[in-house]
Each structure stands twice: as structure tokens, then as C-alpha cells.
A and B are shown apart, each in its own frame.
Chain A
């Protein structure tokens, strides 16, 4: 087992130990805080598929986070109001079932990512950053001006959605659900990163000419990566909405896109576990520095600057002494 694998396991161990200890010590707030980190980690893992493996600097992942959140909000609000979603030609009711909501969130955000990606990926560099930002902002203003689902005020869901056999209102049980999903996403992304798709995508990030010369089309690889990336971030959005029992247009805001990007950069771009470390550090800083000063983002900014300037591999780069995850 190499050092990086050890670090990965240690990180997962700590993220499991904190809420277990917190529950024993009767500190439910810490459980919720860790759950928040776990959900952010999933969102970051999603962005990392595009940004880390494909080199696609998306500044619009809030779009998928928000679509996931609103998928939950819309389904659950119809269910709690006993209002069918669609009556004709077929009757579609809202639902409070988490698995159904996750599936809807994943499909909706994957479709959104496919559409945004198909257009945005015709550009590159700064234009790609700007166009993804523009799409996310479009959705943000759409959510604000859509009165049916709360508009600017957002949507409150009174009870967390249901998972068969569990009491999701119990913080530790909801944590367990999110943690299990984190493990599943990590496993699948780690496999995909080493599979033919991951190898070719990684090569496209390094050298598009090379990929074309071996007969493959970078655009297709990027589009599939961007779609998967959006789907994972969408799942995180649905979980985040359930954590807060609240959905608001701020999930679509560019600050959200920026924060997801911070998880990836802090942790280590292109490493499967990087965003987990980044999200954990972000939530820790938010909690600790947020207690010190309302202007804690200044400190976060300074740390981010230091990472970008002196530690390109993020926390994982510092701890493993390697800049990139390859080789």
C-alpha cells in the first residue's frame, strides 16, 4: 500500500469517526457539519471528473448542483402538498422517496450537463470558463423568477425525504446514507479513472493531437466526462437540499460554482480523493474561521492563493510529495 492510499483511507476513517464520536458525545451539530463536508466532497468529485481528469475548467457547476437541488425540491414539494406534478397525458405524482429523487436528480443534471457541454465544449480556455458561468447564471435567474417554486425565497421541505428502513431525520442515519453514497461515487470514479475512458480522457487533457493521432475524438471524451461530472454534482445537490430541507436559487449562484472549484483545488486537482480532502478542509475552515470573524473568506482566499502558487497538487500534493496523480 503506498502513501497516497494510506492517506485516502485515513481521510475516510476520520470522516467516519468524527460523527460517531459526536453522536456518543451528544453533539448532533458536528454530525451535520460532517455530513455537509461529505456532500460537498461528492460535488467536488463530480467537478474533478471534468476539471481534474479532462482539464475542463468549468465555472458553472452550480448549474448541476442546483438542478439536483430543485429536482428534490420540486418532487418533494408536490408530494407534501398532494399536488400531482403532471396530470395529463399521464399522471406523475411528487415523491418523498430518496432513491427516486436521487435518480431524478442524476438524470436531470446529466441532461443539463450534456446540453451545456455540447455547446460549451466547442470553445476552450477562458471562453469555456465564461460560457459555463453564463449558463449557470441563466439558470440562477430563471430560478429566481419562477414563482411556482418559491422564486427568490426558495422552497422549504418540512420533513427530510424517506429512505426505506431508516429514519432520515436522525442526523447520524442521514450521515450514513451520504457517507455510503460518497464511498460508492469514489469507487466508481476511481475505476473509471483507470479504465480505458479515464486513460484516454487524461491523455486528451495532456495532448489533444496525440488522442486524434490514435484515432479518437477529444470532443466526445470531453462531452461524456462533462455529463458524468454534472450527474455526480447533481446528486450532491439533491443531498444538500435534503440536508437543509431547503432549496433556494443560491444553489445556482456563481459563488457555489466557485466553492465547488475551491474543494477541488484545495484538495488536489486530478486526484480521486482530492476533493474529499478539499471539502473537509473547507468545512473545517468555514466552521473555525467563521467563528473568529464574519470575514473568514479573506483567510480562505489567502490559503487558496498559497495553494495555487506554491502547492499545485493541493493538500494531497503536499502530503505525498507528488504534483500529479499519474505514474
Chain B
């Protein structure tokens, strides 16, 4: 089996008396989509923050591409190749769609401390930005101001910006939320093809999407991973059924 690109080992995090994550092991291997599911308040976002940066675990380590990144700030992790999309769209709302994509291309290329030539006339940055917008289907909206985009389109733009970073792993926090049925299906088809470029850690509420896309699924309940396995294994897992999914039939 290929070595994992992202490896979370024994991560725990408490806020006062509340344990948000307890001894979590999780890995993402090349070419796979690893879905992380769990009820609201299970600690999914807390875990993502410890992987992407911004929140230090109380114990445990996070390894990325063979390197211990536990103490690194968010920006350094992004430069190493973590492409993150946010649960609540986190874009420069006053910018145009194209400007947001160029921002990603610029952050990835570096050379931010240049003061003279216009960024929006840099052919290299524009080409990379437009390619990413085209891939998520936002090419025709590039001149629109980001605040004028629909909720779903902002999600697509988040993914496009992550694409401009050419990451080694994608960390996607509910990329489907707010997308209509059609948008959802398009993004699913796109993520399906994306896994061969870079693996995806996918936090998602949409069970259809998870069970269609994921190679492996981890189930997080009350800060603990109660099961990790293939889609079929998770479907068949009694503990998952009773603890999280109830007795409802799984898709």
C-alpha cells in the first residue's frame, strides 16, 4: 500500500472540560478520496483546523508528505501543498471572481513583495487562474464581483482557488453544501476525476455524495473515530448504524 500523504496520529484536543477530539488516527493515501462524516458537533471542523493549521492539538502529531507539520502555521502548510476549502466561504468578497483565482495563483507562485507591475496583467497568473475557473465551470463569471455570486458558486470558487495552489492534498470542508442538484452532480464528477491529481480529505454531509465518491470513510462521533473502512464496510458496521446513522437504511 502506498505511503499516506497525510497522516494524523493520536491527535487530541480539549476545550476546558469538552473533548473535541480524542486520540484520532486518520490518513489520506495517494489517489483516494477519504471522507470524514459525523453528526453536527462531532469535532469535524476542529479536526480539519488541526490538520490545515490554526489550531494546535494538545497531543499527537500531524505528518504531511513525510514531514511533521504539527507546529507549522497555516501559511507554511499551504505552501507545502495543502489546498483547503472552507465550510463557510472564505473569499475576498470585494474582489472579482478572477481576482480571487489570481490571488491563489499568486500565493502559490510567490513573489508577493513586488510593487510595480500590475498583478492582473501577469499572463502566467491569469492563465493559471482561468484554467482553474474553467475546471469548476466558473469561466463565464470571471468578471463578476464575488459578493454577487450565489452560495453554490462561491463553493465552486473556493475549489477553484484551491486548484490554483496545485496542492498535494485537498482538504475540503463541505464543498457541496448549498449546491443545487445539478451543481452537486457536476462537482461530484469533477472531484471524482480530481482524486488522481491529488487525494482529497472530504468532510461532507451529503451522504449520497460520500457513498458515491469515497474510497474510504471515517466516522467521527463525539470526538472519536468509531470506524474507518471502505464504503461497504461502513454500511455494514453495526456500531456506525446505531451510533450515528440510526437504524435508517443507508443509501
Q: How far is the CA of A76 from the CA of B138 in the complex (A)?
A: 60
**Chain A residues whose C-beta falls within 8 Å of the C-beta of B79 in the assembled complex:** 215
Taking a contact as CB atoms closer than 8 A, the residue among B74, B93, B122 that contacts A213 in the complex is: B74
Residue of A203, A214, A216 with highest tally of chain B CB at under 10 A: A214
Q: Give the contacts of B105-121 with A (CB-CB under 8 A).
A: 106-108, 111-120
Contacting pair A327 B95 (CB below 8 A): yes
Residue B245, interface by CB 8 Å: no
**Chain B residues whose C-beta falls within 8 Å of the C-beta of A221 in the assembled complex:** 112
Contacting pair B116 A210 (CB below 8 A): no
Q: How far is the CA of A194 from the CA of B117 in the complex (A)?
A: 7
Query: Residues of A within 8 Å of B, CB-based: how many?
Result: 28
Residue B58, interface by CB 8 Å: no
Contacting pair A213 B95 (CB below 8 A): no
CB distance from B124 to the nearest CB of A (A): 12
Q: Known contacts A194-B119, A210-B103; decide if A327 and B96 are in contact (CB<8 Å).
A: yes
Q: How far is the CA of A243 from the CA of B117 in the complex (A)?
A: 34
Q: How far is the CA of A221 from the CA of B17 in the complex (A)?
A: 37
Contacting pair A191 B116 (CB below 8 A): yes
Contacting pair A212 B73 (CB below 8 A): yes
Q: What is B's interface to A at a CB cutoff of 8 Å?
A: 52-54, 73-76, 78-79, 84, 86, 90-96, 99-100, 102-104, 106-108, 111-120, 122, 145, 161-162, 164-165
Q: How far is the CA of A196 from the CA of B78 in the complex (A)?
A: 18
**Chain B residues whose C-beta falls within 8 Å of the C-beta of A198 in the assembled complex:** 115, 119
Contacting pair B116 A195 (CB below 8 A): yes
Q: Which residue of B lies closest to A218 (CB)?
A: B75
Q: How far is the CA of A221 from the CA of B114 in the complex (A)?
A: 11
Contacting pair B119 A206 (CB below 8 A): no
Residue A45, interface by CB 8 Å: no
Residue A217, interface by CB 8 Å: yes
Residue of B73, B74, B79, B165 with highest tally of chain A CB at under 10 A: B74
Taking a contact as CB atoms closer than 8 A, the residue among A194, A214, A215, A327 that contacts B94 in the complex is: A327
Q: Give the contacts of A194-211 with B (CB-CB under 8 A).
A: 194-200, 202-203, 206-207, 209-211
With A221-B112, A327-B99 known, 6 other A-B pairs at CB within 8 A are A196-B122, A200-B112, A206-B92, A210-B91, A216-B107, A326-B96
Q: How far is the CA of A14 from the CA of B10 in the complex (A)?
A: 68
Contacting pair B99 A199 (CB below 8 A): yes
Q: How far is the CA of A310 from the CA of B90 in the complex (A)?
A: 28
Residue A11, interface by CB 8 Å: no
Contacting pair B107 A202 (CB below 8 A): no
**Chain B residues whose C-beta falls within 8 Å of the C-beta of A210 in the assembled complex:** 90-92, 100, 103, 161
Residue A306, interface by CB 8 Å: no
CB distance from B184 to the nearest CB of A (A): 23
Residue A186, interface by CB 8 Å: no
Q: How far is the CA of A24 from the CA of B111 in the complex (A)?
A: 50
For A40-84 the 0/1 string (1 means CB < 8 A from B) is 000000000000000000000000000000000000000000000
